[in-house]
Amino acid sequence: SMNMSAPIDYNSTKFVTYKNPILGIQILHPISWKPIKNVTSNGHIVEFMPAVENEHQQLMPFVTLSIENISSKNSDLKSLTNQNLQIAKGLPGFHMINSSSLVLSGVPAHKIIYTFSSLVPMPSEFQSMNIWTIKGNTAYTISYSEAKSEYLKHLPAIEKIVRSFVIVK
């Protein structure tokens, strides 16, 4: 449609490295995107969010990297993929665009791209990309979610972030 945003030229954007030796990961992100680290019930999350132009704007994480300890029943990629697909399919208005294998930080991984709808804060459609892999007993997931009309705008940055991801331990 006509209201699609043009991609941003991320080639001229400076990317910097986020390193976390405790989590054993490193990843590039645009210099203006701030990493925010949170602890979850079974691991850690690092959200990379563009600096907000207007602080009343709803904060929506752009890229979320989650590092979670996994139980033995989901300790292989196939089980984790099946589990994640079940969760995604439970989203309202879920529609799969693509589901494929890839390599992330030298390890076999899986990627899904899909749309879903949200009624909060107002009815709208979102597009997401989730990529996950397992190394040892840890699952690593990179997620990107954005309004469907804006999804392509940031994709060049997201692809660079994904390619840069390294599990260092």
- Residue-wise pLDDT tens digits, 43-86: 999 999 887 666 555 556 689 999 999 877 668 999 999 999 99
Structure tokens, 34: 């701030």
CA angle 20, 156, 129 (to 5 degrees): 70
pTM, entire model? 0.89
The CA-to-CA distance between both ends of the chain, in Å, stands at 44
Does residue 120 carry a pLDDT above 70?
A: yes
What are the CA-CA distances from residue 83 to residues 70, 91, 101, 158 (Å)? Answer: 12, 13, 16, 24
pLDDT of residue 1: 46
Structure tokens, 111: 């990627």
